Amino acid sequence: MVTTEPFYGLPRSQASKDCETDTASARFALLLRHAATALRDPTRADSVAAVGELTGTLALQRMHQAMKGDPVGRQILKDRPIVSKASIPYERLIDEAKTADLSADTVTFGQAYGIFLKTHDFDPDGRDKVRYVEDEELAYVMLRYRQCHDFWHALTQLPPTVVGELGLKWLELFQTGLPLAAFASTVGSFQLSQQEQQILWIHYLPWAKRIGRQLPYCALMNVYYETEWDTPLNKLRKRLHIEQAPEIPSVDQN
């Protein structure tokens, strides 16, 4: 059986940090608690996010250096764009998504992103805030990574299902080295049916490995997606040296 529902649920509201994290022992205890929660319920986006923040310092430092070494990455770090309904042309993107055709050569990145949001009823404001990364620069890198996730769905056309998310997490692992990507892949694999395992290992993982080899490290973080709304999707893919994820043969979902 192939699950067609989105993998991660809505983030739980968090008004503040749920405990002090100024000591290594406190951070480790918090990590264990959130990891246990995520293992029990992989749809707990807040716990999955917390695991990423509590384990990601070294990877975030490397990502930050890679962005500083790239002209576009440096501009992103300087501007610190935030992906929200207020900061992107949300209504326009959703309106254009109503008539856009993903199979057309003329479809733009913005239309593909709008289609993704509209089809799956996703909210750009729904991503968790960064709570456990103390360094301001690294906290923004984590936030940018988190907010680019849906851009990458639009770019690759991977669905936000369990197996689709795992395919994207593998690509993210090759691109960022974040332990979160490895953790999410492990946790998510517990949710896979036999058919989904075949899709992951036969189709998505080889694709992610191939893309990972041909893309420079952190290349997908060094894209100012907010300036690419009107760029034809295929043109953007060609420039970034990324391919659409494989189309999966029709399978029985009953």
* Helix 136-156, helix 233-240: angle, nearest 10: 120
Q: Which H or E run contains 102?
A: none
User: What is the dihedral sign for C-alpha 177, 180, 181, 186?
Assistant: positive
Does residue 171 contact residue 215 with C-beta atoms inside 8 Å?
Answer: no
Q: Measured between alpha carbons, how far is 234 from 153 in angstroms, rounded to an integer? A: 14
Q: Measured between alpha carbons, how far is 161 from 172 in angstroms, rounded to an integer? A: 16
Q: Is 150 annotated as a binding residue?
A: yes
Q: Measured between alpha carbons, how far is 253 from 121 in angstroms, rounded to an integer? A: 21
Q: Is 79 annotated as a binding residue?
A: no
Q: Which residues contact 169 (CB under 8 A, 6 or more apart)?
A: 181, 184, 185, 188
Q: Is 134 annotated as a binding residue?
A: no
Q: Is 153 annotated as a binding residue?
A: yes
- Give the residue numbers of the binding site: 149-150, 153, 165
- Give the residue numbers of the binding site for Zn(2+): 149-150, 153, 165
